[in-house]
Structure 1
């Protein structure tokens, strides 16, 4: 099959990328991510080294089963498409997560195309949380943590841990499900 039309190619890629559900043999392993599947509105805050909010905006985050149900993919956008005219051109981030049964954890790769930034993480579930620890050789250890996950919302934070163990929160997302469109 030869596809030369960009729109047709995008449709094929989207159809191949997204799955309706996880593979049955992976459903239990992926259960920590199941509540995240769908779309979320975000309140996004960035922090300086002293913990002061330096910037706030709206964002959006979309999660789906992917790659024949063998992965969880997400795209977060900040600022959201709805506020880009006033809040500027931010980042679109793509994450792919796979479960590694031999490792007993998730391998996760995040890509931010605006700055050509790639980070790899090892993800482990906790009680009502998922922690992703960066495996990048940065000056600080980066950790992304999902908490308080429920039907209507969750929280996420990006924190750095220095060699001395001090933690600095860099970013927080408060996620809520978008209101369903009215049926008028």
Structure 2
């Protein structure tokens, strides 16, 4: 299938680049397909829940990890049901700073976020400032080989208090998609 689409063939990689393979596993461990639930809070702080699917893959000769986040999932979306998100993240490891440069784009909502990511103990924390100056964190927590918890939270007082805005509870769908470095 990749050969039929030259752009996809050029984007796809079979694994991490050799010159940074160890560092690439911070996100590379997620390579594969995931499904689960998205819980989110709207502008009136009303809780909503829907199905979700996420797909991670090696990209750009193994120097990046790219992923696609979809809610509701394509398999469970009802005819006429609006999309909540259908976007992509490009995660590029920066050996000079030992951080990840991350860009998220969601054409459904015209959202474009640029952030940095890093390991934080057993978790991964990505952070950026929103246009109003609030801090926003995206966190991968409770990470196992077959599941993880993803959290989005915001702080208007520079991290003293955090407000949960959304979370994904995901489980791996393809168990053999991680290839050893």
- TM-score class normalised by the smaller sequence: 0.7 to 0.9
Bigger mean CA deviation after superposition, 107-116 or 163-172: 163-172
Residue 73 (structure 2) pairs with residue 73 (structure 1): no
For 1:16-38, what per-residue CA distance to the aligned partner results, in whole angstroms no more than 9, with x for missing partners?
11111010111111121122110
Partner of 1:118: 112
TM-score by length of 1: 0.85
Distance 1:47 1:74, change over 3 A: same
1:56 partnered with 2:42: no
Name which structure has the greater RCO, CA cutoff 8 Å, separation 6+. Answer: 2
Match of 1:3 in 2: none
Aligned to 2:86, which of 88, 92, 99? Answer: 92
1:33–1:8 distance in 2 versus 1, CA, 3 Å: closer
Alpha-carbon contact 2:149-2:167 (below 8 Å) kept? yes
For residues 49-79 of structure 1, what are the alpha-carbon distances to aligned partners after superposition, in whole Å with 9 as ceiling and x for unaligned? 89x7611000000001101111010000011
Q: Is residue 137 of structure 2 the alignment partner of residue 147 of structure 1?
A: no
Runs of 4+ off more than 2 Å? 7-10, 47-50, 86-90, 135-139
> Normalized per residue, which structure has more helix?
1
* Equivalent-residue separation in structure 1 for 2:20 and 2:2 (angstroms): 31
* CA RMSD, Structure 1 to Structure 2 (Å): 2.3
Equivalences for residues 14-33 of structure 1 within 5 A: 14-33=8-27
Structure 2: gaps (5+ residues) = 176-181
- Pick the structure with greater CA Rg: 1
When the two structures are superposed, what TM-score results if normalisation uses the length of structure 2? 0.86
